[in-house]
Amino acid sequence: MTVANVIQKQLERASWIRRMFEEGIRLKAERGAENIYDFTLGNPSEDPPPGVLATFRRLANMNTPGSHGYMPNAGYQEAREAVARRLRQETGVEFTGDCVLMTVGCAGAMNAALKAILDPGNEVIVPMPFFPDYQFYITNHGGRMVPVETKEDFSIDVAAIESKITPQTRVIILNSPNNPTGVIYSESVLRDLESVLQRADHTIIVLSDEPYKSIVYDGAKCPEMASIISNCIITTSWSKKWGLAGERIGYLAISPRLPEAEALSNACTFTNRILGFINAPAIWQLVTIEAPDESTDMATYEEKRALMCDGLARIGYDVRKPQGAFYIFLRTPIPDDLSFVRTLQDEGVLAVPGSGFGRGGYVRLSLTVPRETIVRSLPAFARALANVPKGS
Ligand SMILES: Cc1ncc(COP(=O)(O)O)c(C=O)c1O
């Protein structure tokens, strides 16, 4: 046996992703890629803003001596200061460059933070549905995931969270705007959570996973988690905001209001290194200093969201518009989402079952497909709905 038992078990738990991917390849080969509508991927469809690419090219061409080497483990001080400056403006909280760590995407930031915080057996509360990789990030570092139900509209249920707190609870992961539901957590619900955390008899950290923060619709604004929650660590990346998930650039920022913030920052710099992430991509760190205000064009996502939601509602689906991120979490017409995913597949539509996110009865559809795919897929969605066995 060469693969560790624990990884073998995780592979089996994650195997639905692989199966879906393989099924997609098979269907595309069988029926022609143009007849398959693949809504499974979360890869941003918009290219990076031109200003970001121009900055990247200019910096790469400068080829300054030493610019391809290691820098201090936490990243270029200037990049860290630039992040802290922006966070001070946005949150009103006195973030400093010393509590910012440049990371390999948001996933790198989350893993560095969890490794620095968790001892074996510590618990991490995660509202359901959730980004499936959280369960693996948590077990990577000896933690135990404690899932907690959300309300009917997928907003967080503070009383339910409070009921799950034990002496072992160290972290609550919040992801707003949320993948997969598209929900933005309101300021009032976050204030209620802050009261609970302030009453707790030990420090519980909110790990605020924010890669979709700037992807919002109808002029919505995502409340600043760090302004409301004292014990907050922000983890984020430019993966979605700039559409460059493959470049792996993100950061982790520790609120100065968190007890022992400086010690935790040192610990995260160390865990980032020993996890093998030393260091965040050098050139992209520099790009983040120079092109901070660039953002992906939301008009395209807005249009695709309207096209998809209105189209599905016209057909007869029970659809809720996402407030942010680029997914639609669609209620399935039958409770068995895995069965409905197969019905959709028969019609050439590939979707991710909600069960994979810890919430059956839904499928996730990604808006990162071309507009044309949405238009051409709607008749297939209509056929799938018509094919659902009556009374099921
Ligand atoms: C909720 C959530 N958190 C974290 C990540 C990881 O982001 P990154 O690619 O920047 O590591 C993703 C990626 O899809 C995500 O959806």
Question: Residue 392 pLDDT > 60, yes or no?
Answer: no
Question: Residue 269 pLDDT > 60, yes or no?
Answer: yes
Q: Is the pTM of this model over 0.85?
A: yes
Q: At what angle do helices 5-13 and 133-140 cross, to 10 degrees?
A: 170
Distance 117 CA to ligand 1 centre (A): 20
Q: What ranges in the chain are assigned the alpha helix state H? A: 5-13, 15-31, 50-62, 77-91, 105-117, 133-140, 158-164, 187-199, 225-228, 261-272, 282-290, 298-315, 337-346, 371-387
CB 304 within 8 A of CB 322: no
Q: Given pLDDT bands bounded at 50, 70 and 90, which one contains residue 316?
A: very high
> Which among 106, 110, 175, 210 is the best mutation to test ligand 1's pocket, defined by most ligand atoms within 8 Å of the CB?
106
DSSP result, 148-176: E---TTS---HHHHHHH--TTEEEEEEES
Provide the pLDDT for residue 14. 80
Provide the pLDDT for residue 142. 96
The response to whether residue 208 sits with its C-beta less than 6 Å from ligand 1 reads: no
The response to whether residue 349 sits with its C-beta less than 6 Å from ligand 1 reads: no
Provide the pLDDT for residue 60. 93
CB 384 within 8 A of CB 346: yes
- Rounded to whole angstroms, how far apart are CA atoms 303 and 314? 16
Distance 199 CA to ligand 1 centre (A): 31
Tens digit of pLDDT for each residue in 140-169? 999 999 999 999 999 999 999 999 999 999
- Output DSSP code: residue 365: E
Distance 61 CA to ligand 1 centre (A): 30
Question: Residue 19 pLDDT > 80, yes or no?
Answer: no
Ligand 1 atom 16 nearest Cα? 179
> Which among 239, 364, 368 is the best mutation to test ligand 1's pocket, defined by most ligand atoms within 8 Å of the CB?
239
Tens digit of pLDDT for each residue in 176-209? 999 999 999 999 999 999 999 999 999 999 999 9
Provide the pLDDT for residue 391. 61
CB 304 within 8 A of CB 367: yes
Residues in the chain: 392
Distance 211 CA to ligand 1 centre (A): 6
The response to whether residue 122 sits with its C-beta less than 6 Å from ligand 1 reads: no
- Rounded to whole angstroms, how far apart are CA atoms 75 and 82? 12
- Rounded to whole angstroms, how far apart are CA atoms 83 and 354? 35
Distance 236 CA to ligand 1 centre (A): 8
Tens digit of pLDDT for each residue in 333-386? 999 999 999 999 999 999 999 999 999 999 999 999 999 999 999 999 999 999
CB 165 within 8 A of CB 186: no
Handedness of CA 211, 213, 214, 217 (dihedral sign): positive
The response to whether residue 106 sits with its C-beta less than 6 Å from ligand 1 reads: yes
The response to whether residue 245 sits with its C-beta less than 6 Å from ligand 1 reads: yes
Handedness of CA 198, 199, 204, 210 (dihedral sign): negative
DSSP result, 221-251: ----HHHH-SSEEEEEESTTTTT-GGG--EE
Provide the pLDDT for residue 227. 98
Q: What is the largest CA-CA distance in the chain?
A: 70
- Express as a percent the part of the chain with pLDDT over 90: 87
Tens digit of pLDDT for each residue in 120-137? 999 999 999 999 999 999
The response to whether residue 311 sits with its C-beta less than 6 Å from ligand 1 reads: no
Residue 134 zone, left/alpha/beta (φ > 0; ψ -120 to 50; rest):
alpha
